[in-house]
Amino acid sequence: MNRIRSESNRACLLFLGRSSKMAKEMEEVKIPYRNSRLFSRDFLAERLPRLQEWKIPSEKLKSAQAQLRDLFTTALPSTSEPALEEELIRPILSEVLGFSYLVQPSRKIFKTHRQPDYALFPDEETKQAAKAFDGDKKLFEHALAVADAKAWEVDLDAVGPASQMHDYILLSGVRWGLITNGRRWRLYHRDTVPELDVFYEVDLEELITAEDPEPLKYFLLFFRAESFAEGGFLDQALTESVKYSQQVGTELKENVFEALRLLCQGFLDGNESLSPDDLSEIHENGLILLYRLLFLLYAESEEEKELLPLSNPVYRDQIGLSAIKREVATRDDWLKESHTLWSRLKDLFGFIHRGSEELGIYEYNGGLFDPARYPFLEQYQLGDRCLAEALRLLTCTEDDGRRGFLDYATLDVRELGSIYEGLLEHRLILQDGTLTWEKDPSERKKTGSYYTPEYIVSYIVEKTVGPLVDEIEQELREELTSLDEKVRRARGENRRLLHKERNKLLAGARERVLNLKILDPAMGSGHFLVSACNYLARRIAGLEAALTGKEMEEAVSELKRTVAVRSLYGVDLNPLATELAKLSLWLHTVAKGKPLSFLDHHLRTGNSLIGTTVNDLKRPPSGKSFEIGLWESKLVEDLGKAIRHLAFIKESVSDSRSDVEAKKEEWELVNAWIGKYKQAADVWLSPHFGNKLTDGDYTQVIEDAAGNAIDKGKEKPFFVRAQEIAREKRFFHWELEFPDVFFDRFGRPLDNPGFDTVIGNPPYVRQEQLSENKAYFKTAYATYTGTADLYVYFYERAHRLLRRDGRFGMITSNKFIRAAYGEALREYLGENTHIAELIDFNDLPVFPDVSAYPCIVLTVKGGSGPTRYLRVPSLEFSSLSELVKKTAAELPPDAISGPDWRLMSAEEYAILEKMERVSVPLKVWLGEVEIRRGVLTGFNKAFFIDAETRARLIAADPKSTELIKPLVIGEDIKRYEIEYKGRYLIFTRRGVDINRYPAIKKHLEQFKTELTPRPPDWDPTTQGPWPGRKPGSYKWYEIQDTIDYYADFEKPKIMYPVIARENTFGFDTNGFFSNDKTFIVPNADYFCLTLLNSALGFLWARSMLSALRGGFLEYRAQSMVKFPIRRIAFTTPKDERARLVEEGKRLYFEALERLGSKDKNDG
């Protein structure tokens, strides 16, 4: 494998040596188009010139260039929009590009003053057919695209034109949009237009004045009518670009494992003071180094936005990673003992961390490159050979026989989050001096992060943030109407003042939207926050245009920067995720020539679920009352000071290096006023995690904090331990971390504190991984149950953080809707929120490769109204919004009140309600009889045997029959009966003397390694996975569970599988035992059996039980005890009823026998 890689490397070096030379030669050549992430660079630079469509004859190019020159010459004396349209744009559309068009088509469907100028068609015949639908959206089913014309001087980079195009494309339903000011021609696509700044553009004036007509292809090929046809050139270009992006993502995910392994191997081999005992620290810091490199590769790929100064030749050719990767790609003689590359990288990291005015590098506002945070990377070195090979894996690629550099510009930065999650599935181990990967499935389960599809994110943002902006717009319209009426009546000076007030109201419209506070408490790489940023930017542009009749002239990037700094808040437990979220927002909001926005005040690292409140600080940790001293008024005063500094950060611009430096200084002051109270809060909370302190200790700490003397007690053991726990658990005290969300500028509680919107996709972490925090969750959350998964607590935390009438939207597992552990959450949501929408995807693969059973839940805190419910039948839909609008059902008012939710139609709900009204729960019906689970052995291969093995064991020792029981499993159970398949169970229950059964002992001894329970002192993290069964008090030959109720298996009983597509309840009188995938009801109750198997019983099951992939339901005992059993006021005595049942059975079997005899005679 190494030899193959080496040969591949040499080939890559030869090619890249040539390509690097070519790249330098081309640096002075201006690219004849502007591609802002719509198509891949690979497609435009490599694939496009090889396509048949590219081969436009030179005569045709020259003719088109001459024709365009004539049109420009005629039109340009006037640059007004009407004249340009008449003399330039329309002739180009029809005569040069081959479109037929309708002017201002179907205006009614756009419902605002915004209406596109043209609908574009492939020919006159299609246009005439479409005209029959003018005024209707159906007109656009015939159109290739919508188009809009602007005056010559209009800047297409402004928010207004981009926002207009978004509305036109989305409302018309077409796939493509074209906008032009005559000189610049720009394309947008339906899938990416919501971002406003994803487009392809050419400067047509520049192309037609060039001597060489060849670059004109970039206009003709991308804008001519035939290219817009379904499956045509533009679709091909987009498909190829997406395909390339996916290939790059896949290749990077594969290469990154080997790159990280090489980095860690280099640290281990190149530093004598490091040993295998340091592997965990090496791995952790190797991961940091890897993400520094990936960060730089992403940042340098954004040439359009220039996060890093690639236009500076010193940076590009000497300092930057771009220079280092070119050198790595063209050399194969790197020495293991030299550290040239490491030295250059450390210099680069220093420039990024500190900034460099000379190079044009703005200081990085984050911790990823902070040397103080990662001293390991300052202390140890990395040899050139390992580092060069790792860099080659991260930067070089081969596609269709062509080798070059990976194009990070084609990847969404959220891919970094996905890559990180993939790395967490594995861990490094040392074998014979070489590091290798050993997969550790538990790691991903601990993080529980999954990449959320874009359509889900957009839907949640639209349905949570959208109504809030709608409310603001409605309020503004009402205020404007009132003012306009006053203006109409006023005269003289009063009228002038009212006009002034009206203008002030219009100017402040955006402020009301920017004052919205949008939170993602588990932000990951920032997917939801980026979507919210795009959405708010569009809505602000649309709002101002609707109110003033004028389109915004502000640049898209400027408005997005403002939104990011003002309105977006995010928290994540993982510091790397915080860095990724910052990078993601920077890439989506950066303005060329301006520093990176300061985001530290709103994007934070911490545990969203573990923290305390300011009110908690007013009582000691013991909960006893105590006299509040002067410190409370000092806390209020200090909060006010901090909030005023935060206001400066949010409201001032970030146009220059000095602006950002001023914000950093303000942020330091915020921490100075509040940091001491955070430390006091850490002390208050630490007893929940084992810290020992008295109420007096805490009182002294909070008083010291108020007196600016928090350091007085920092050496005390309880204080030191409190800070250690806080760092380990990453305590996050919401009111102190984001004080402006909860308090006014004087530190007083707001009348309606909290975030306006909480959105996201919280981690999917099973309750088994929560043990170390369960004691705290039990005291801190009303929704706590011992078996609840982590997302349950995110529901409660999110709603606590919301203001009254705030909106919540998350995608989580749907298990809480029916599972027993979700009962407390269902009650909490029912009592504290209005559940606006429930969209259940059940077992559909929303998240590929994981069975998440996701649902979207939208609520309003404290609101009221109808609930819309949809069980999504398939992922084959074009718009989730349209699907919900057309097919979601409105639930009955009581369907989601209390602990049991009924997600069904009104008719089904009425039936179920009547069933339960005249019934009792199965638990009550059974009385002292309990539903029992089948036998859990812990290793079925040893305990499950066939008839042949049973016979052999009994032949060797007849006593074996005492422990061998007939066994059925879930698939053997049918409605009303059991299909026995000849399986048997060795039932060595607790307390069995195995020496009395030598044949069985001998059989089990062959599995002794797999059967032995894990000893308490075994550490899987250092000793690897235990080969046997889980820890327990059982002996190696005993079944794993106690099964004290084993006698119930000998009784007549109802049996059923825990997972089934329909109600499948069988009846057994043969003393069958069953496995742990079944339950038994040790009661010979035919009436109960009939109801359980009935159609009404299945209706109940579908509405009340958890659904699984493949249409299966989960018939857990904790759910089945609620099954309704019809109450009957029997008049016949119980003994007589039993006699009649037996008589009926006798008659039934006699009839069967007679029928059988008759069939034989007839035969």
Give the tens place of pLDDT for each residue, 1061-1094. 999 999 999 999 999 999 999 998 889 999 999 9
Q: Give Cα separations from 661 to 306, 351, 665, 668, 842 (angstroms).
A: 20, 16, 6, 11, 50
Q: Note the pLDDT of residue 365.
A: 64
Q: What is the DSSP code (8-state) at residue 879? A: -
DSSP for 987-1032? Answer: ---TT--GGG-HHHHHHHHTTHHHHSBPPTT--HHHH---SSBPS-
Q: Which of 379, 406, 436 is the last residue in one of the domains?
A: 436
Q: What is the arithmetic mean of pLDDT over 15-38?
A: 58
Q: Express each pLDDT in 1005-1057 by its tens digit.
A: 999 999 999 999 888 767 888 999 999 999 999 999 999 999 999 999 999 99
Question: Where among 581, 610, 639 does a domain terminate?
Answer: 610
* Res. 923: pLDDT tops 70: yes
First to last CA, the chain: 73
Question: Which pLDDT score is estimated for 3?
Answer: 34
Query: What pLDDT, on the 0 to 100 scale, is given for residue 41?
Result: 87
| pTM reported for the whole predicted model | 0.83
914 in a domain, yes or no? no
Cα angle 227-230-234, degrees, rounded to a multiple of 5: 40
871-to-458, 631, 842, 1062, 1119 alpha-carbon distances in Å = 19, 54, 7, 18, 21
Per-residue pLDDT band for 849 (boundaries 50, 70, 90) equals low
The reply to whether 381 and 296 lie within a common domain is yes
Does a structural domain hold residue 675? yes
Between 783 and 554, where is the model more confident?
Answer: 783
% of the chain at pLDDT higher than 90: 60
For residue 777, being part of any structural domain is answered with no
Q: How do residues 357-380 score in pLDDT, each as one tens digit?
A: 888 888 776 678 889 889 999 999
Long-range contacts of 901-905 (CB under 8 A, 24+ apart): 901/817, 901/818, 901/826, 901/830, 902/1103, 902/1104, 903/817, 903/838, 903/840, 903/869, 903/871, 903/1103, 904/1102, 904/1103
Residue 463, pLDDT > 90, answer: yes
The mean pLDDT of the chain is 88
Three-class SS state of 567: helix
Query: Do residues 604 and 620 share a domain?
Result: no
Q: Look at residue 767 and tell me if it is in a domain.
A: no
Confidence of residue 1158 (pLDDT cuts 50, 70, 90): low
CA-based nearest residue to 935, from 1028, 1072, 1059: 1072
Q: Looking at residue 1100, which CATH number applies to its domain?
A: 3.90.220
Same structural domain for residues 449 and 432? no
pLDDT band of 764, cuts 50, 70, 90? confident
Q: Within this chain, do residues 39 and 138 fall inside the same structural domain, yes or no?
A: yes
pLDDT at 110 > cutoff 80: no
| pLDDT for 693 | 92
Tell me, yes or no, whether 741 and 817 share the same domain. no
Question: What span, in angstroms and rounded, lies between the C-alpha atoms of 809 and 758?
Answer: 6
8 A C-beta contact, residue 197 and residue 590 = no
Residue 279 belongs to some domain of the structure:
yes
| Domain final residue pick, 414, 436, 458 | 436
Spatial separation of the C-alpha atoms in residues 560 and 588, rounded to whole Å: 8
Q: For residues 306 and 404, state if they share a domain.
A: yes
Burial classification of residue 32, based on how many CB atoms lie within 10 Å of its CB (0-12 exposed, 13-18 middle, 19 or more buried) = middle
**69: domain CATH number?**
3.90.1570.30
For residue 880 the two structure tokens come to 């989730």
Interval 2-10 mean pLDDT: 37
State residue 4's pLDDT score. Answer: 31
- pLDDT category at 15 given cuts 50, 70, 90 is very low
What's the structural domain count of the chain? 7
Count other Cβ atoms within 10 Å, centred on residue 131. 14
Token couple for 637:
């005063």
The CA distance from 83 to 75, in Å, is 7
| Same domain flag for 1037 and 1003 | yes
pLDDT value at residue 724: 96
In angstroms, the CA 514 to CA 331 distance is 52
Q: Does residue 450 register a pLDDT over 70? A: no
* Domain, as residue range, for 566: 443-610
Residue 140 lies in a domain: yes
Angle at 96 between CA 90 and CA 101, to 5 degrees: 40
Q: Say which range, 195-199, 622-626, 807-811, has the weakest mean pLDDT.
A: 622-626
1082 and 1159 in one domain?
A: no
**Cα angle for residues 104, 108, 113 (degrees, 5° grid):** 70
Do the domain assignments include residue 236?
no
**Is residue 887 one of the residues assigned to a domain?**
yes
Q: Indicate if 163 and 50 belong to the same structural domain.
A: yes
Q: Please answer whether residues 442 and 276 qualify as being in contact, where contact means their C-beta atoms are separated by less than 8 angstroms.
A: no
Confidence at 832, pLDDT banded by 50, 70, 90 = very high
Same domain, 734 and 797: no
Whether residues 580 and 682 fall in one domain: no
Flag whether pLDDT at 449 surpasses 70. no
> Which position has the higher pLDDT, 818 or 736?
736
Contact 352, 366 (CB under 8 A): no
| CA–CA dist 973, 1075 (Å, integer) | 11
| pLDDT at residue 16, as a whole number | 42
Q: Over 60: is that where the pLDDT of 411 sits? A: yes
Whether 25 has a pLDDT exceeding 50, the answer reads: no
Are residues 1105 and 975 located together in one domain of the fold?
yes
pLDDT in tens, 495-531: 889 889 888 988 889 999 999 999 999 998 899 999 9
Which one-letter amino acid corresponds to residue 292?
A: R
Q: What is the structure's pLDDT at 189?
A: 97
Q: Which of 770 and 368 is assigned the larger pLDDT?
A: 368
